[in-house]
Chain A
Amino acid sequence: MNKIFEVPLYSYERSEDQDRTTPARHPVVIIGAGPVGLAAAVDLAQQGIRVTVLDDNDKVSLGSRAICFAKRTLEIADRLGIGDALVDKAVQWNLGKVFFSDRKVYEFNLLPEKGHQRPAFVNLQQYYFEDYLVQRVRALQQEGAPIEIRGRNRLTAITNHDDHVTLDIETPEGSYALEADWVLACDGAGSPTRQMMGLDFVGRVFEDNFLIADVIMDAEFPTERWFWFDPPFNPGQSALLHKQPDGVWRIDLQLGWDIDKAKEKLPENVIPRIRAMLGPDIPFELDWVSIYTFQCRRMEKFRHGRVIFAGDAAHQVSPFGARGANSGLQDVDNLCWKLKLVIDGAASEHLLDSYDTERVFGADENILNSSRSTDFITPKSDISRLLRDAVLDLSEQYEFARPLVNSGRLSAPCSYVHSPLTSTDALDGPARSAPGSPCPDVPLEDVFLLPQLGDRFTLLTIDAEAPEHINESGITAQRLSLSCADDTTQALRERYMGAAEGAVYLIRPDQHVAARWPTFDDDLVRAALRRVIGKEHDL
């Protein structure tokens, strides 16, 4: 049986553009058909923008790679039309166990908050995530959407001009040139685009290597996250065991920095490590092995004129906390509605600088969290190890020490509270839905709130009056009217009202709160709408 990542999903086909004497001009070209590039393509195509994805390969990614997808990613996936496919295939888990040296020190339950459509986390191989996005691209093509993936189209040169970008592309049938109004560079941690433009990562914080293996076994391990600090089978390092669909288990073994990668990857070195971890009696088969090297760093700026970087191309974190692919999807979520407004002429291109501001902030938060996890997992000094071991020792006996154990702080979206697009909070409401925050989900009568938002501006009124539409500066906010009288679970009150008697929320297309008030005020709502598209400049 062919594995999914061995089958070409977007084989090379000759494009008309290759036969032109002058380069074709495309509105948006995306470099890289990974989860971030494909998600951006689907997002833009759903909004009617012509989009062309170039990839030097023709298959989904090899091996499981990113495996933990967070609730926010699933909510974005719902907006992109692949949420159900992901959740139906994925493995859900809530229980985690923490081991130190040769013993289990404690276990925890994520106990996800009730009243959300999507679970806190699911595990799924990255290649399925990409596969569902490719299927979504095909479905959009069937509907006539102008979206295209060009396999085995490798970028060889890129030049930024004032109002467009020129691209040289290598194919199995020779090279050709393209022009693009906008280029999204989603070509991963080693980003050739970034290198060709002579831009480098700044702020290197940490470097380490991980042996990552997908192992097929029938063992009756429960669907739990098992994390080891300093286990006998990998002394001084860490290890992770996590279940994926199809009876595939993901094993991450930390190897340290100064290693011989080629040697560590040899089956005769990998198999004894895994056997020592699983025990001598468990038969297993190696599906995929890789050595993953990470750094915690980011580009200084994500927008460079007409070329915009997203995902690992723009920022890289340690794997602890699942903040790589998840933050890349938040980049897409943040960028696409802004790019749509700029392309439509409803906003100036300076709106795209807010992508830079907001996502650099998000990247810094992710780098901070994942660096802290790394410091706990790999202590850098004797005293750091002493304190780490003290926390782990205490955690076995005393509950208080468990929040100090850091094997990764699981990805959560950041709030854009300090963004220039965010208005000052005018409601005495809950902190979790203050301007800048991602909207928390709420169960409504027979649907959930979040799928009612997105792709457009929403004026959410809760026990408050407002017009059905507000047109301002070329954009429209549509009203969604709710009442606490229908709120049988009290989730709406708890998450959006607090002690307030009424509330009016202005919500961005990426489901982040832009502004909120106790009642509708035409002038204030219009000012907030102008602010969120970069047209209101505070004195």
Chain B
Amino acid sequence: MAEHQLILTPNIHRADDFYAELLAAHDGLDKTESEALHARLVLILANHIGDNEVLSQALAAAQPSVPADDDRP
């Protein structure tokens, strides 16, 4: 079902704006603070998604060894 499927096709309307905002969020932060911000961000986004299946797919998709596109059986 689509609702339990991680979206891996373009889904952010203004991609460049988002990316700039993501970078800007780290302005003035050192490495440790940036890492903490990322950790908080991951948790906030994960809660927003909420769906355990989608979260598992996202964790798998983020693995360095797994191709981040289709070919899912």
Contact = CB atoms under 8 A, between A and B. Distances in A.
B47 interface: yes
Nearest to B32: A386
Interface in A345-393: 386-387, 389-391, 393
Interface string B34-48: 011001101110010
Tell which of B35, B39, B44 has the most Cβ of chain A within 10 Å.
Answer: B39
A398 B47 CA distance: 11
Interface of B: 35-36, 39-40, 42-44, 47
Contacts of A391: 43
A386 B39 CA distance: 7
Interface in A23-51: none
Contacts of B42: 387, 390
B35 A404 contact: no
Contacts of B44: 394, 398, 400
A393 B36 contact: yes
Contacts of A393: 36, 40
Nearest to B40: A390
Nearest to B37: A390
Range for the number of chain A residues in contact with chain B: 10 to 19
A375 to B, nearest CB: 15
6 contacts: A387-B39, A390-B36, A390-B42, A391-B43, A393-B36, A394-B40
A389 B40 CA distance: 9
Contacts of B35: 386
A386 B36 contact: yes
A391 B47 CA distance: 11
Tell which of A389, A400, A404 has the most Cβ of chain B within 10 Å.
Answer: A400
A394 B42 CA distance: 11
Nearest to A404: B43
Contact of B47 (A386, A387, A389, A400): A400
Contacts of A394: 40, 43-44
A401 interface: yes
Query: Which DSSP category, helix, strand, loop or mixed, fits chain A's interface?
Result: helix
A401 B36 contact: no
Given A387-B42, A389-B39, 15 more contacts: A386-B35, A386-B39, A387-B39, A387-B43, A389-B36, A390-B39, A390-B42, A390-B43, A394-B40, A394-B44, A398-B44, A400-B44, A400-B47, A401-B47, A404-B43
Contacts of A389: 36, 39
A262 B56 CA distance: 46
Contacts of A390: 36, 39-40, 42-43
A305 to B, nearest CB: 43
Contacts of A386: 35-36, 39
Interface string A386-426: 11011101100010110010000000000000000000000
A404 B42 CA distance: 13
B43 A401 contact: yes
A443 B44 CA distance: 41
B55 to A, nearest CB: 13
A-B pairs with the 6 shortest C-beta distances? A390-B39, A400-B47, A390-B40, A386-B39, A387-B39, A394-B40
Nearest to A390: B39
Interface in A72-126: none
A386 B40 CA distance: 9
A400 B47 CA distance: 7
Contacts of A401: 43, 47
Nearest to A401: B43
Contacts of A398: 44
A389 B35 CA distance: 11
Contacts of A404: 43
A450 B35 CA distance: 51
A328 B47 CA distance: 36
Contacts of A387: 39, 42-43
A401 B43 CA distance: 8
Interface in A469-509: none
A387 B36 CA distance: 8
A391 to B, nearest CB: 6
Contacts of B39: 386-387, 389-390
Tell which of B42, B43, B44 has the most Cβ of chain A within 10 Å.
Answer: B43
Tell which of A390, A393, A398 has the most Cβ of chain B within 10 Å.
Answer: A390
Contacts of B47: 400-401
A387 B39 CA distance: 6
A401 B44 CA distance: 8
